[in-house]
Amino acid sequence: MGCCVSTEKKRDWKPLEERSCTDIPWLIIYSLFCIGMLCICGYPIATGGASRLISGYDSYGNTCGQKNTEIEGVPLSGKDMSENKYVFFLEPCNIDLIKRKVKSIALCVSKCPATELATYEDLKKFALNNGSYLCSYDIPFTKYTSHSEISTKCPKLPVPASKAFPLFHRCIPVDVGCYAEFAQAFVTFVSDNSVLRRVIAGVTASKEIIMGLCVLALVLSLIMMVVIRYISRVLVWILTILVIIGSIGGTAVLWWLYVDSKNALNNQTMSVFGKEVASDNVKALLVYSIGATIFTVVLLLIMFFMRKRVALTISLFHVAGKVFIHLPLLALQPFWTFLCLMLFWVYWIAVLLFLGTAGTPVKNNSTNVVEYQMQGPLQYLVWYHAVGLIWINEFILAFQQMTIAGAVVTYYFTRDKSQLPATPILSSMARTIRYHLGTLAKGSFIITLVKIPRLILTYIHSQLKGKENACARCMLKACVCCLWCLEKCLAYLNQNAYTATAINSTSFCTSARDAFIILVENALRVAAINTVGDFVLFLGKVLIVSCTAFAGILALNYQRDYTVWVLPLLIVCLFAFLVAHCFLSVFENVVDVLFLCFAVDTKYNDGSPGRQYYMDKALMEFVEDSKKMAGDGRGQEMRSMTRGGTST
pLDDT for residue 461 is more than 80 = no
Q: Are 55 and 64 in contact (CB under 8 A)?
A: yes
Q: Could you tell me which residues come within 8 angstroms of residue 186 by beta carbon, excluding any fewer than 6 positions away?
A: 196
Give the ranges where 413-561 is alpha helix by DSSP (H).
424-435, 437-463, 470-504, 508-521, 523-528, 534-557
Looking at per-residue confidence, does 318 or 179 come out higher?
A: 318
Instruction: Using pLDDT thresholds of 50, 70 and 90, give the confidence band for residue 34.
Output: very high
182's CB contacts (< 8 A; 6+ apart) are 95, 97
Residue type, 333: Q
Among 325, 243, 222, 232, CA closest to 533: 232
Task: Please give the Cα distance from 439 to 399 (Å, whole number).
Answer: 10
Task: State yes or no: pLDDT of 648 exceeds 50.
Answer: no
Cα–Cα nearest to 514, from 528, 500, 493, 524:
500
Q: Which of 102-116, 135-149, 195-209, 441-455 bottoms out in mean pLDDT, i.e. has the lowest? A: 195-209
pLDDT higher than 50, residue 192: no
What values do phi and psi take at 373, rounded to 5?
A: -135, 145
The Cα angle at residue 61 between residues 159 and 373, in degrees rounded to 5: 115
What does the pLDDT average to over 509-528? 86
What is the C-alpha separation between 621 and 550, in angstroms, rounded?
A: 39
For residue 110, give the nearest of 79, 83, 143, 129 by alpha carbon: 83
Per-residue pLDDT at 397? 93
Cα separation of 295 and 290, whole Å? 9
Average pLDDT, integer, range 604-630: 73
Q: What is the CA radius of gyration of the chain?
A: 33
What pLDDT digit, counting tens, does each position of 281-291 carry?
677 778 888 88
Residue 101's pLDDT band (boundaries 50, 70, 90)?
Answer: low
Please check the confidence at residue 565 and state whether its pLDDT lies above 80: no
- Report the percentage of the chain scoring pLDDT > 90: 16
Q: Check residue 345 and give its pLDDT.
A: 93
Would you say residue 23 has pLDDT above 60? yes
Average pLDDT over the chain reads 79
Report the alpha-carbon distance of residue 595 to residue 597 in Å, rounded.
5
Beta-carbon contacts of 414 under 8 Å, excluding residues fewer than 6 positions away, are 16, 420, 614
Range in 143-157, 355-369, 398-412, 556-570 the model is least confident about = 556-570
Tell which residue, 146, 171, 26, has the closest CA to residue 91: 171
The pLDDT, as a whole number, for residue 188 is 46
pLDDT of residue 270: 59
Whether pLDDT at 431 is above 60: yes
* Position 463 pLDDT exceeds 50: yes
Residue 153 has pLDDT above 90, yes or no: no
Average pLDDT over residues 101-113: 83
* Least confident segment among 160-174, 267-281, 451-465, 573-587: 267-281
Range of weakest confidence among 36-50, 299-313, 599-613? 299-313
Mean pLDDT of 95-104: 59
pLDDT class of 186 with cuts at 50, 70, 90:
very low
Per-residue pLDDT, 606: 76
CB atoms within 10 A of CB 494: 26
The pLDDT value recorded for residue 440 is 94
The enclosing H or E element of 382 equals: helix 381-412
What is the SS3 assignment for 129-170? HHCCCCCCCCCCHHHCCCCCCHHHHCCCCCECCEEECCCCCE
| Count of alpha carbons within 13 angstroms of residue 591, beta-carbon side | 30
Where along the chain do its domains lie? 56-179
- 631 vs 625: CA distance, rounded Å: 10
**For the ranges 137-141, 164-168, 179-183, 626-630, which has the lowest average pLDDT?**
179-183
Give dist(CA 273, CA 268) in Å, integer.
13
- CB proximity list for 567: less than 8 A, separation 6 or greater: 199, 202, 203
Instruction: Give the 3-state secondary structure of residue 361.
Output: strand
Phi-psi region of 14 (alpha: psi -120 to 50; beta: other; left: phi over 0): beta
Q: Quick one: pLDDT band at residue 356, thresholds 50, 70, 90?
A: confident
Residues 424 and 411 sit within 8 Å (Cβ to Cβ)? yes
DSSP 241-257: HHHHHHHHHHHHHHHHH
pLDDT at 2: 40
This prediction has a pTM of 0.77
- Asked whether the beta carbons of 454 and 483 are under 8 A apart, the reply is yes
Say if residues 61 and 74 touch (Cβ distance below 8 Å): yes
For 57, which DSSP code?
B
The predicted model gives 210-230 an average pLDDT of 80
More confident residue, 15 or 576: 576
Cβ-based neighbours of 170, under 8 Å, separated by 6 or more: 56, 86, 87, 89, 164
Q: For residue 72, with 0-12 CB atoms within 10 Å meaning exposed, 13-18 middle and 19 or more buried, which class applies?
A: exposed
Beta bridge partners of 364: 369
| Contact indicator for 157, 118 with CB cutoff of 8 Å | yes
What pLDDT was estimated at residue 95? 63
Cβ proximity of 387 and 452 under 8 Å: yes
* 303 within 8 A of 240, measured Cβ to Cβ: yes
Between CA 72 and CA 363 the distance in angstroms is 9
Kindly report the three-state secondary structure assignment for every residue of 544-590.
HHHHHHHHHHHHHHCCCCCCCCHHHHHHHHHHHHHHHHHHHHHHHHH
Mean pLDDT, residues 393-420 taken together? 89
CA dist., res. 620 & res. 612, Å (int): 11
In whole angstroms, give the CA distance from residue 301 to residue 557.
Answer: 49
3-class SS of residue 192: coil
Output the pLDDT for position 190.
42
Q: Which residue has better confidence, 151 or 66?
A: 66
96 has a pLDDT exceeding 70:
no
Query: How confident is the model at residue 1, as a pLDDT?
Result: 40
- pLDDT number for residue 433: 92
pLDDT for res 76 = 85
Q: Three-class SS of residue 209? A: helix
Res. 540: pLDDT tops 50: yes
Q: With CA atoms as reference, report the closest residue to 95 among 180, 185, 188.
A: 180
pLDDT score for 264: 74
Contact 179, 93 (CB under 8 A): yes
